[in-house]
């Protein structure tokens, strides 16, 4: 694909505050065409500079308009490019444009037809081309210099690691902070995949004891989060200070993190996404940033991961909070609780996968409840801990329904947990949906 600019043919999506805007943009991308989302009142000069092959207006007629004057910029129609309106009231526009009254299940096919046929774009935006483009850009930015990356084992930083390793090899150093609140064998798996199999330089910081000491006696959820986030930054700083000649810090920033939301801009954001961020790294670190996923949606990041050779199961894994099991152990964190929870969680996920339910749920995990309940073991009363199972189905994580798992599956998971883990006497299933309950328990 040498010499081919995969951004040359591009679509502009103008957002009038519809919740479908990102879905539409993702459809343009999956049809193989680069696109960007901009607010409906973007200035004319920016549109001209962007030089789109076509423009899509995205509005939701069932919600109130964002302001009294929701007009696209006048210059839009001087461009002489095809325009598709989805949900935007075009009666006020004189131009000839393709119209769909509202987003529905036919929209994806319409969008694909619009970009490939009406706008005549070529399908250049493919995982292989995106990888080649990203590698070329990273090489041009970094040259012979060195890059540092915080590798969490999560999807984003893992894909960044694989991409940078391919682009600049040994010039990349990763720091992986193992806070002892990871899933069963996860720390070893991260090392095996990146350090042993791929030959990436990874420094593993075994910080379990340090975290346990700092978290001792702390049961307030916010306080726990702060300690976990702050300690991560301290450890990362300590490791970075030991390394010499690093000029860049790589980050797994993705496109939804950088889209300027019109709802926010016009003060109408009705949903605030909750983040389980470990806090991120402070902005005053003296590094230039390398952000090779900045243009990509999460589904594109996953496809890139597969293209780069990361295992499918890892790349399509459910999201995991930054503070790890720290927010799934209610109240004070102790090693005993974390070990117990890791085992319970592992059994749950193993059975979900075996039953074909892992892909049908968006997030599933076990929660440690620091309450002792009675059970009978060898005719003796035994007081042991309670574990809750949580599984949800969701499209966007803003709202979620508890997953209606088959009773047989729940039964199997519950009896395995009680049988295999000595410290657990009771398993319950969380049947709360979001809202009002959140997905995580803390
Ligand atoms: N335990 C860790 N060790 C090293 N780096 C980490 C760790 N946890 C987080 N980071 C770094 O901080 C970034 C932001 O963390 P956050 O928990 O918000 O994850 P994220 O945005 O979901 O990304 P990822 O999918 O890579 O975990 C990560 O992408 C990673 O670079």
CATH class of 328-429: alpha beta
Instruction: Compute, in angstroms, the gap from residue 130 CA to the centroid of ligand 1.
Output: 22
Residue-level pLDDT at 270:
45
Q: Is the CB of 173 under 6 A from ligand 1?
A: no
Q: Is the CB of 277 under 6 A from ligand 1?
A: yes
Average pLDDT over residues 415-427: 96
Q: Is the CB of 157 under 6 A from ligand 1?
A: yes
Please write the tens of the pLDDT for every residue from 136-187.
999 999 999 999 999 999 999 999 999 999 999 999 999 999 999 999 999 9
Topology match between the domains 127-315 and 328-429: no
Specify which residues 34 forms β-bridges with. Answer: 10
Give me the residue label for tokens 């935006």.
125
Instruction: Enter the CATH code of domain 127-315.
Output: 3.40.50.620
How far apart CA 26 and CA 33 sit, in angstroms, is 10
Tell me the pLDDT band of 397, cut-offs 50, 70 and 90. Answer: confident
Peptide bond between residue 435 and the one before it cis (omega within 30 degrees of 0): yes
Cα torsion 326, 330, 335, 341: sign? negative
CB 15 within 8 A of CB 70: no
pLDDT for residue 381 is more than 60? yes
Please write the tens of the pLDDT for every residue from 299-315.
999 999 999 999 999 99
User: Measured from the CA of 174, which atom of ligand 1 is nearest?
Assistant: 4
- For the record, the structure tokens of 108 come out as 């994806």
Please write the tens of the pLDDT for every residue from 51-104.
999 999 999 988 877 777 778 888 887 888 999 999 988 776 666 688 888 899
Query: 5: exposed, middle or buried (C-beta count within 10 Å: 0-12, 13-18, 19+)?
Result: exposed
| Predicted ipTM beyond 0.90 | yes
CB 181 within 8 A of CB 333: yes
Q: 407-440 b/e with 16+ CB inside 10 Å = b?
A: eebbeebbebbbeebebbbbbeebeeebeeeebb
CATH class of 10-118: alpha beta
The domain locations on the chain are 10-118, 127-315, 328-429
User: Measured from the CA of 277, which atom of ligand 1 is nearest?
Assistant: 18
Whole-prediction pTM value?
Answer: 0.92
Q: 64 in helix, strand or coil?
A: coil
**CB neighbours of 264 closer than 8 A, spacing ≥ 6?**
none
Pocket test for ligand 1, best of 177, 194, 232, 278 (most atoms within 8 A of CB): 278
Please write the tens of the pLDDT for every residue from 272-295.
333 434 445 666 667 899 999 999
Residue-level pLDDT at 93:
67
Q: What's the chain's average pLDDT? A: 91
Residues written for the chain: 442
How far apart CA 56 and CA 18 sit, in angstroms, is 12
- For the record, the structure tokens of 252 come out as 């797994």
């Amino acid at each position: 694909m040498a010499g081919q600019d995969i951004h040359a043919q591009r679509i502009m999506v103008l957002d009038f505050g519809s919740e479908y805007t990102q879905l539409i943009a993702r459809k343009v991308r999956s049809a193989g065409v680069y696109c960007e989302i901009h607010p409906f009142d973007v200035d004319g000069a920016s549109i001209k500079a962007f030089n789109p092959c076509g423009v899509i207006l995205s509005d939701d007629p069932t919600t109130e308009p964002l302001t009294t004057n929701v007009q696209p910029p006048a210059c839009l129609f001087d461009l002489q490019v095809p325009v598709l309106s989805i949900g935007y009231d075009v009666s006020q526009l004189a131009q000839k444009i393709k119209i769909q009254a509202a987003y529905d299940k036919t929209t994806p096919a319409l969008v694909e037809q619009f970009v490939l046929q009406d706008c005549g774009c070529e399908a250049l935006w493919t995982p292989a081309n995106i990888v080649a483009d990203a590698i070329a850009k990273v090489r041009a930015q970094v040259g012979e210099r060195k890059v540092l990356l915080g590798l969490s084992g999560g999807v984003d930083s893992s894909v960044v690691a694989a991409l940078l390793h391919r682009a600049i090899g040994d010039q990349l150093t990763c720091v992986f902070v193992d806070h002892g609140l990871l899933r069963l064998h996860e720390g070893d798996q991260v090392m095996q995949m990146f350090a042993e199999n791929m030959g990436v330089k990874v420094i593993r910081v075994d910080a379990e004891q340090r975290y346990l000491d700092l978290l001792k006696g702390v049961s307030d959820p916010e306080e726990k989060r702060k300690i976990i986030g702050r300690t991560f930054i301290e450890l990362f700083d300590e490791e970075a200070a030991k390394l010499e000649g690093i000029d860049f810090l790589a980050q797994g920033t993705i496109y939804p993190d950088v889209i300027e939301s019109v709802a926010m801009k016009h003060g109408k954001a009705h949903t605030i996404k909750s983040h389980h961020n470990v806090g991120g790294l402070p902005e005053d670190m003296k590094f230039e940033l390398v952000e090779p996923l900045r243009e990509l949606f999460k589904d594109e990041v996953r496809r890139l991961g597969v293209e780069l050779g990361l295992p499918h199961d890892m790349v399509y894994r459910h999201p995991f909070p930054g503070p790890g099991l720290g927010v799934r152990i209610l109240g004070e964190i102790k090693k005993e609780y974390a070990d117990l929870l890791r085992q319970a969680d592992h059994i749950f996920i193993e059975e979900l996968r075996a039953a074909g339910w892992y892909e049908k749920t968006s997030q599933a995990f076990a929660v440690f409840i620091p309450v002792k309940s009675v059970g009978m073991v060898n005719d003796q009363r035994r007081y042991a801990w309670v574990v809750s199972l949580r599984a949800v189905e969701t499209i966007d994580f803003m709202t979620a329904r508890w997953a209606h798992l088959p009773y047989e599956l729940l039964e199997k998971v519950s009896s395995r947990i009680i049988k295999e883990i000595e410290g657990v006497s009771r398993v319950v299933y969380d049947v709360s949906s979001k809202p009002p309950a959140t997905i995580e328990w803390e």
